């Protein structure tokens, strides 16, 4: 399966329609906050690069949850520059993960999904930076949260059997 087809399928299935629960592609793990405890589900998640991605994505998702709590009618995000830098760093790590899997000759969906997440993180960050009112900021934060959660789940979920 080419990366473009896998990425398209992933994005289509992961899209969120307001009022509906997001579609789950992989088996859900416990809360993202317990991502470190879920590393045992996929051997790849124990490798330093991929464990680092999981740790950073989970920490950023916790920051997003705090931002959402702090909005309360305001439209300013504290320490946004630092947050933006950490998102950029995570995007780079996701691309490194993609390249590492490509170097290994892996032809699985994870390689393509990591590339897609790497490309989507800056877009979601841009959407958040452009949001001008609390409601649009909250929506942008929700979208960022879904992407960060997916970043954890695709690595920690057990690999699917080859078909």
- Please give the chain's pLDDT, 163 residues, in tens: 566 655 555 555 555 545 555 444 444 434 443 444 445 578 899 999 999 999 999 999 999 999 999 887 666 788 899 999 999 999 999 999 999 999 999 877 899 999 999 999 999 999 999 998 889 999 999 999 999 999 999 999 887 666 5
Tokens linked to 63: 């920051």
Other C-beta atoms lying within 10 Å of the C-beta of residue 61: 23
Q: Alpha carbon 161 to chain centroid distance?
A: 23
Asked if residue 88 lies in contact with residue 58, where contact means CB atoms within 8 angstroms, the answer is no
Cα–Cα distance list, 18 to 1, 131, 148 (Å): 30, 18, 18
Q: Name the residue ranges covered by the structural domains of the chain.
A: 3-11+54-156
What do you get for the CA distance between the two ends of the chain, in Å? 11
Q: Alpha-carbon torsion 85, 92, 66, 135, what sign? A: positive
Asked if residue 113 lies in contact with residue 6, where contact means CB atoms within 8 angstroms, the answer is yes
pTM summary value:
0.75
Tokens linked to 152: 């954890």
Q: Of the candidates 3, 1, 2, which has an alpha carbon nearest to the alpha carbon of residue 117?
A: 3
Q: Of the candidates 152, 145, 148, 114, which has an alpha carbon nearest to the alpha carbon of residue 35?
A: 152
Q: How far apart are CA 104 and CA 126, in angstroms?
A: 32
Q: Of the candidates 86, 85, 87, 67, which has an alpha carbon nearest to the alpha carbon of residue 138?
A: 67
């Amino acid at each position: 399966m080419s990366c473009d087809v896998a990425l398209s399928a992933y994005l289509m299935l992961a899209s969120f329609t307001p009022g509906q629960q997001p579609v789950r592609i992989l088996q859900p793990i416990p809360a993202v906050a317990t991502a470190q405890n879920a590393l045992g589900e996929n051997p790849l998640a124990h490798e330093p690069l991929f464990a680092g991605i999981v740790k950073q994505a989970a920490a950023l998702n916790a920051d997003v949850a705090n931002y959402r709590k702090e909005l309360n009618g305001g439209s300013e995000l504290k320490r946004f520059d630092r947050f933006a830098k950490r998102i950029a760093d995570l995007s780079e790590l996701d691309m490194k993960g993609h390249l590492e899997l490509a170097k290994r000759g892996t032809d699985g969906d994870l390689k393509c999904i990591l590339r897609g997440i790497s490309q989507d993180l800056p877009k979601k960050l841009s959407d958040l930076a452009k949001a001008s009112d609390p409601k649009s900021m909250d929506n942008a934060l929700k979208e960022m949260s879904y992407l960060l959660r997916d970043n954890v789940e695709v690595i920690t979920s057990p690999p699917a059997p080859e078909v």
